[in-house]
């Protein structure tokens, strides 16, 4: 499987082995665009003041609606005035920003537009305001949960590209979004392509978050030996929608190094230490071991039928 590895001019200039500081934001988006923008600006400014080199915003940072029709009607082009304002924040505060879930209107005439779908777009913006990468969420949230039935694919087109942005001040960044977290193969592919930090901007439901949020994020960090940083939505967005919160950063050993609780706006901040990452990987070289047995993983699995008669007890 091919993973696109992107390095912009800004990224190339920032390449190095120094410790970088990353922040994951927590916010409660609504359908009031200006309030959401004000919240994002507050969080980005706080991250810059805290000497962070990158800040990640959660899924649906710019808007949280009440249903599929509203989402399609609201969607904006990346080149439009709304996202241009968000790009300008990176330039204003001289910081890398992960915008983790923008409602992107596809280009007219594209297959997605013809199907009446939008993209759930995770965009990485450099300090000069340029868009370095645009990852379209791959795995769409079609599920039946205690918080309701959701069918993201009814209005969203899935992406078909896996992306690593190489050479940022905090390392090589793998881009994912929310429900992708449940599919470990994409994370393994990002690691194999050179990722050292994987972002998981999200808007997890309270029921699934309580059960699975922490264990899934720690598992992805342990499996990939990457830092995993997950910005989160929290609280009641509208009468139909509530999010779990608990923005978190996990290190390559699976330890939680920064986190917030389930309520309130804020930042979780941690150092991304390349020496610690290298130590974990050298002492337990799981990627080397996996590559050594790569041929095995393409082989069919042997299924053996147990003969019940041989296990019966005698009287």
Element (H, E) at 237: strand 232-238
Residue 236, CA atoms < 13 Å, CB-side half-sphere:
3
Residue corresponding to tokens 């190095």: 16
Give the list of residues 6+ apart from residue 198 with CB closer than 8 angstroms, or none: 173, 174, 175, 176, 187, 190, 191, 220, 221, 224, 226, 227, 228, 229
In the set 52, 62, 104, 137, the catalytic residue is 137
Whole-number Å distance between alpha carbons of 93 and 45: 7
Q: Which of 59, 62, 104, 152 is catalytic?
A: 59
Read off φ and ψ for residue 22, nearest 5 degrees: -125, 145
Based on the residue annotation, tell me whether 178 is a catalytic residue of this protein: yes
Task: Let me know: does 241 contact 64? Beta carbons within 8 Å.
Answer: yes
Choosing from 46, 60, 152, 178, the catalytic residue is: 178
223 catalytically annotated: no
Are 194 and 172 within 8 A, CB to CB? yes
Say which DSSP state 150 is in.
E
The Cα 126–Cα 57 span in angstroms is 14
Is residue 276 among the annotated active site residues?
no
Active site residues: 59, 137, 178
């Amino acid at each position: 499987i091919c993973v696109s590895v992107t390095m912009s001019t800004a990224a190339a200039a920032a390449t190095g082995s120094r410790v970088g500081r990353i922040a994951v934001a927590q916010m409660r988006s609504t359908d009031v665009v200006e309030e959401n923008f004000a919240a994002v600006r507050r969080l980005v400014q706080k991250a810059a003041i805290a000497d962070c080199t990158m800040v990640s915003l959660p899924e649906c940072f710019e808007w949280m609606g009440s249903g599929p029709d509203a989402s399609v009607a609201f969607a904006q082009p990346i080149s439009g005035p709304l996202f241009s304002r968000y790009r300008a924040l990176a330039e204003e505060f001289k910081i890398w920003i992960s915008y983790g879930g923008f409602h992107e209107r596809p280009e007219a005439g594209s297959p997605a537009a013809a199907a009446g779908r939008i993209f759930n777009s995770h965009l990485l913006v450099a300090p000069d305001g340029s868009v370095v990468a645009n990852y379209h969420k791959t795995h769409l949230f079609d599920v039946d949960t205690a918080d309701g039935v959701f069918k993201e694919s009814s209005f969203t087109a899935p992406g078909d590209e896996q992306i690593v942005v190489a050479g940022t001040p905090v390392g090589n960044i793998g881009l994912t979004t929310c429900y992708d977290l449940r599919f470990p193969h994409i994370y393994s592919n990002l690691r194999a392509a050179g990722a050292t930090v994987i972002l998981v901007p999200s808007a997890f439901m309270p029921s699934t978050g309580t059960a699975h949020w922490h264990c899934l994020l720690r598992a992805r960090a342990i499996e990939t030996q990457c830092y995993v940083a997950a910005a989160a939505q929290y609280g009641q967005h509208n009468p139909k929608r509530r999010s779990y919160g608990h923005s978190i950063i996990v290190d390559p050993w699976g330890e939680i190094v920064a986190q917030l609780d389930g309520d309130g706006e804020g930042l979780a901040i941690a150092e991304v230490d390349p020496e610690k990452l290298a130590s974990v990987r050298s002492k337990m070289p799981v990627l080397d071991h996996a590559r050594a047995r790569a041929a095995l993983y393409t082989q069919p699995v042997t299924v053996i039928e147990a003969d019940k008669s041989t296990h019966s007890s005698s009287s």
